[in-house]
Amino acid sequence: MASVSSISKTLAKKLRRGRASASASAVTSFQWKSFPPPPPSFSFSSSAAAISSSSAPPSTSTSPSQSQEKQKGSRWSKLLLFVPGVITFGLGTWQLFRRQDKIKLLEYRQERLGSEPISGNKLAPSSNNLDALEFRRVVCKGLFDEKKSIYVGPRSRSISGVTENGYFLITPFMPIPNNPESVQSPILVNRGWIPRSWRDKFVKVPQDDEQLSSIASSSAQENERSSWWRFWSKNPKIIEEQVPPVTPLEIVGVVRGSEKPSIFVPANDPNSSQWFYVDVPAIARTCGLPENTIYIEDINENVNPSNPYPVPKDANELIRSSVMPQDHLNYTFTWYSLSAAVTFMAYKRLMPKKTGR
């Protein structure tokens, strides 16, 4: 009986387990059938397609025309690296030509200064070859018209290592009547440099004018005496008036032309007597002379020690320039060195870099 009861208990347990598993499978199948998964929407698929298309790598294929343009651009950029070297090399070569021109100019001046001086009475302002007379030495005789002096400046001058400002004194040089050795027409003479302190003190009556005035006053007194003597005397004496001849001044100068001012020099103002550079026609017009008046620079070295001013120009200054041939040579060396430096830098920039192992 005991065995029959144990067998029946075992069968009952198996039946219970089978029913429980069948009910669980039925529940799960019911859940999947009653709630099916949602179908994929169109928007989700389109966004996914857009994401996939955007994440796709771009096409690396280029057209032949674009590749040719890139090659041309790189070629021009390489050539531009050598442009500074070409420009600086050209400037250095230009300085060599400037040096040759400056040597010829200074030799021309020195040759003309060494030629025989011209007599001042042969100068004619109406001649058309005034340019041919430039840098020729002339010897002139006449008298200065001090009242029409012109001061050009300021001009600095170094005296014993000390720089002092002053002016160039330009005065009309007038002919002497009935004197064939004097100049036949007025000329302008740059008498030299005077300090600023002498500008107001330099205006004075010429000695020749003083002589003429004293002679005129003495002759007037003699006329008065002779008239009284003739009035009281029975035998009047005829007194001959004798005027001593005027002693002309002799200067040695060089024919020059107008100065060429730089852009930093102010314009002349003749109305206020401000002259910053030598303008021969304008100065002659201010002095009441023709515009084609000859202009010379005094180079006489015989300076009176008691009256040291004005200081005439040194003749050696006329064969010197602000930029001498040696300066042009220095500029050439500088430009060529700079050209070599920038060309080497461009070459190093285009050389392929060596990669170390």
Q: What is the pLDDT of residues 324-346, one digit of tens each?
A: 999 999 999 999 999 999 999 98
Which residues 6+ apart lie within 8 Å of 142 measured at CB?
120, 173, 174, 175, 176, 182, 183, 187, 248, 249
Residues 85 and 196 in one domain: no
Residues 99 and 151 in one domain: no
Residue 174 resides in a domain: yes
Residues 325 and 192 in one domain: no
Which residues 6+ apart lie within 8 Å of 223 measured at CB?
241
Residues 295 and 264 in one domain: yes
Band (pLDDT 50/70/90 cuts) for residue 108 is: very high
The C-alpha torsion from 270 through 276 and 279 to 282, rounded to 10°, is 0
Residues 147 and 253 in one domain: yes
Tens digits of residue pLDDT in 261-289: 989 999 999 999 999 999 999 999 999 99
Residues 330 and 252 in one domain: no
Residue 170 resides in a domain: yes
User: CB-hemisphere CA count at 13 Å for 24?
Assistant: 6
Does position 227 have pLDDT exceeding 60, yes or no?
A: no
Residue 155 resides in a domain: yes
Residue 161 resides in a domain: yes
Polymer length in residues for the chain: 357
Band (pLDDT 50/70/90 cuts) for residue 45 is: very low
Residues 257 and 171 in one domain: yes
Distance CA 302, CA 251 (A): 10
Residue 180 resides in a domain: yes
Band (pLDDT 50/70/90 cuts) for residue 314 is: confident
Residue 27 resides in a domain: no
Band (pLDDT 50/70/90 cuts) for residue 123 is: confident
- pLDDT value at residue 205: 45
Tens digits of residue pLDDT in 160-198: 778 889 999 999 999 998 888 899 999 999 999 999 888
- pLDDT value at residue 42: 43
The alpha carbons of the chain give a radius of gyration, in whole angstroms, of 54
Average pLDDT in the chain: 76
Residues 94 and 198 in one domain: no
Distance CA 180, CA 172 (A): 19
**Overall average pLDDT of the 202-229 stretch:** 48
Residues 258 and 174 in one domain: yes
Range of the domain at 104: 79-113+320-350
C-beta separation of 139 from 120 below 8 A: yes
Highest mean pLDDT among 20-34, 97-111, 195-209: 97-111
Residues 164 and 176 in one domain: yes
Q: Is the pTM of this model over 0.75?
A: no
Count of domains forming the chain? 2
Residue 281 resides in a domain: yes
Residues 329 and 307 in one domain: no
- pLDDT value at residue 72: 59
Residue 199 or 246, more confident: 199
Residues 182 and 287 in one domain: yes
